[in-house]
Amino acid sequence: MTIRNTLRDHGQRYRPRMACLKKAEKLLLEMQDPKTGVKSQPQRLVITTIPHAITGEDIIAWLADRFQVDTQEARNFVSMLVALGYIYPLQDHRRLVIKPDASLYRFQTPYFWPTQQWPVEDTDYAIYLAKRNIRKRGILELHEQEHYNRLHKWMNHKWDFVVMQAKEQYRAAKERKKPDRVVFECQERAYWVVHRPPPGTVSAMDYGLDRLTDPNADEVTGLLCCSFKHYTPLTRSLCFLCSRRLVKYCSTYKSHDPFLSNCLPSNPWLTDDATYWSLNMPSVEIPTKMRVERWTFSFAELLSDPRGRDDFRLFLKKEFSGENLAFWEGCEDLKWGEAATMREKAEHIYKTFLARGAPRWINIDGKTMEVTVKGLKHPHRYVLDPAQTHIYMLMKKDSYGRYQKSPVFKDTVKKAICPEEHRYSDAQLQQNAKKRRPSLSPIILRQMEQEQRAKMAANVDITQVMSKLSKQGKEAPPPFLAPPLRNKHKRVMFRDFYRRI
Amino acid sequence: SSHVKAMGKDECKTMLDALNKVTACYRHLVIALGSTSDSQNLREELKRTRKKAQELAVANRTKLTSLLKDKSISKDDRAEYERLWVLFSSSMELLEVDMKRSLEIGQDFPLKVPTRHLIQTGMTGSTTTVAARAMSVQNMKYEADSNIDTADLRDLQCEISQVSQMMEEMEMKVQVAPWAVEAKQEAGAELKSNMSVGNSSVGVISICEEEPKEEDGGGNRDAGFASICAVLVFFVIVTVAVVLGYLVINMS
């Protein structure tokens, strides 16, 4: 059997999410009242006259009066009703917007009202497209033709039924009088504009997943109703702290959020121009100003951005403390990597960073080192967590501050670009839409990443070279390559000593 | 027996066509529910169309199950019966959904309550011709009680459960893989159909497809073009007549 309507209410699973639909229906019924409802007028066409047409300004005025709101609010409300499909435009049927002038609209019949309980079936859409083919050849638009071909392919087993039913429905519709026939065609067409929107528009019925709670049911009282003054002082202070942090976060990131402010040069989802993405690729030569600004917000931001990390790595290389970052990256690789290679990775990290006399020895305190070495006897993903946290905090408190004042960073800031905002006309936007191409395949991106990582691993660190040389038999290594000292303070002195040379 | 089988297949196809027709008409009637086309008559039409659909469904099911159960049929025959089965079950799915929706809308729009208004959809004509087509009669005779809009709903609920039960039984008992069926029609088959479009529908279409800049000009443009053609032809004929007349006069 074909897979039938799967949205059966198995007790608790399915709940309506769009509470607005029931409310809109009540409102629609109020609008029908001959005395207090919306004023309707006949629509005069060439051949015939069809009653019950309403003007945009009338609906908006009625709504503003009914809810005692201003015209703009009423207009937003009505545009939602039109987008959902309760009212459809008679002219310019592809654009479901409300025009506050004498443009005509009509109410949709209850069968075609938007509803979540009856999912929109592809079979019905196929029948509709076949009916339009029957009525007039070559009438299907490009996106409808594409839908038609796709449906014919995957619904092929039902195609005989689709054609038969389309013919019968067409004949049944012809039985009615001309005005009713016109109305029916307009209704059906409006229904499918809502549920299979033309490209460049979004269906208002695209509501995502079904929720577990029914917003139309009686509200749960009790927990949700307790007011702020009943909270304990501790809870209250925590609330304040959280809200303050939230406010700070929002104010910091507000200008960087593409939803809240313009993203430069233009939002690719809106203008179909992918410059924004190509300028913000993970390993781009010259980053954008906004990106560089984000690196100053927090150390985590800097590290999570691959370009920022590259910059930071460059800075650390100049300071000869690149092993910290390399160790941190190794730990991340261990945490998120495959289980099969975990053991080897852990051993490699130990040999490179933690063992006595390791080529890239990192400076962590004695207790952490003890814990880590003990844990490495039975390595697991998180065995290096304490050491990683220690190094992370070290970098954050020490190197990060100096990085921001360093010439490397200042140079990057100077070179960062701030692209001009695009201003596209409607015609150019359509051109852009036609030129849309898929982006690089993720497989290729991953290969590029791996190549880069291999290149970096091949890049020999100067300390590694020197320490190798020192192992090759020189008796007393030069002073600046003395075995790294365990104490953090001594380490700082050692660096100063180097600088003096 | 092959003759009997061929007859069985044809009979099946006829019954399926009938079921298909009734399903299409039923859908058209349900679409009118709740709108200004709604009336007592519509409710009665729905009831009778529904009952006819159910009778046809049961008859089809019996016939098809008996045909499919026959183990001695050839592979081609079996493929054909499976195709017919898919047609039948798709029809039934459509019918079931429409019945459930008619129950829902019927409950939301009772006819007798003065405060519940019907939706002003612009459709005001009756659906009696559609119902007559479904019932295969010339004219519909209406003989139902005046409280059909509420009384029928109880019957409808029973019938819906019957249909759902029947479909579940069908799922269980008949082992047909619908995705294995290949359709006979290619894409765009309906374009080659010789269904008469007719001038009136073309006028209707041009109204429906009107763009904002054209508005009523779409229909006007067609009519204007035709009238210009007629005027030109008239003038040509008059000119020819004048020339001929002049020649005749000159000759005599």
Contact B123 A1 (CB under 8 A): no
Dihedral sign computed on CA atoms, order A270, A276, A278, A282: negative
Work out the pLDDT band at A429, boundaries 50, 70, 90: confident
Contact A111 B204 (CB under 8 A): no
Straight-line distance from the first to the last Cα atom of chain A, in angstroms, rounded to the nearest whole number: 84
At residue B212, does pLDDT exceed 60?
no
User: Which range among A341-345, A371-375, B109-113, B218-222 shows the weakest confidence by mean pLDDT?
Assistant: B218-222
A159-174 and B2-32 helices, crossing angle to 10°: 50
Instruction: Please tell me the predicted confidence (pLDDT) of residue A211.
Output: 62
Q: Tally the C-alpha atoms within 13 A of residue B231's C-alpha that lie toward its C-beta.
A: 6
Instruction: Please tell me the predicted confidence (pLDDT) of residue A9.
Output: 46
Instruction: Please tell me the predicted confidence (pLDDT) of residue A152.
Output: 92
Taking a contact as any Cβ pair under 8 Å apart, which residues of chain B between 170 and 229 contact chain A?
A: 170-171, 176, 178-185, 187-191, 193, 195, 197, 200-205, 207-212, 215-216, 219-220, 223
Instruction: Please tell me the predicted confidence (pLDDT) of residue A289.
Output: 92
Closest CA to A102 of A26, A17, A175, A41: A41
At residue B204, does pLDDT exceed 70?
no
At residue A15, does pLDDT exceed 70?
no
User: Which range among A220-234, A265-279, B179-193 shows the weakest confidence by mean pLDDT?
Assistant: A220-234
Give residue-wise pLDDT tens across range A52-83: 999 999 999 999 999 999 999 999 999 999 99
ipTM: 0.79
A352-362 average pLDDT score: 88
Residue B225: count of CB within 10 angstroms of its CB: 10
Give residue-wise pLDDT tens across range A248-272: 999 999 999 988 888 888 888 888 8
Determine which helix (DSSP H) or strand (DSSP E) holds A220, and give its type and residue range: none
A396-421 average pLDDT score: 93
**Both tokens of residue A324?**
């910290």
pTM for this predicted structure: 0.62
Q: How far away is chain A from the Cα of B18, in angstroms, using its nearest Cα?
A: 10
B85-113 average pLDDT score: 93
Work out the pLDDT band at B77, boundaries 50, 70, 90: confident
Query: Percentage of chain A with pLDDT > 70?
Result: 84
- For chain A, the average pLDDT equals 83
CB pairs under 8 A between A and B: 217
**Both tokens of residue B210?**
């009107």
Contacts of A111 in chain B (CB under 8 A): 30-31, 33-34, 101, 105
Work out the pLDDT band at B158, boundaries 50, 70, 90: very high
Work out the pLDDT band at A14, boundaries 50, 70, 90: very low
User: Which range among A76-85, A389-398, B175-184 shows the weakest confidence by mean pLDDT?
Assistant: B175-184
Q: How far away is chain B from the Cα of A99, in angstroms, using its nearest Cα?
A: 12
Q: Tally the C-alpha atoms within 13 A of residue A160's C-alpha that lie toward its C-beta.
A: 20
**Both tokens of residue B148?**
């059909």
Instruction: Please tell me the predicted confidence (pLDDT) of residue B194.
Output: 56
d(CA A13, CA A232): 36
Give residue-wise pLDDT tens across range A437-492: 887 788 998 898 888 878 877 775 544 545 544 454 444 433 333 344 444 444 44
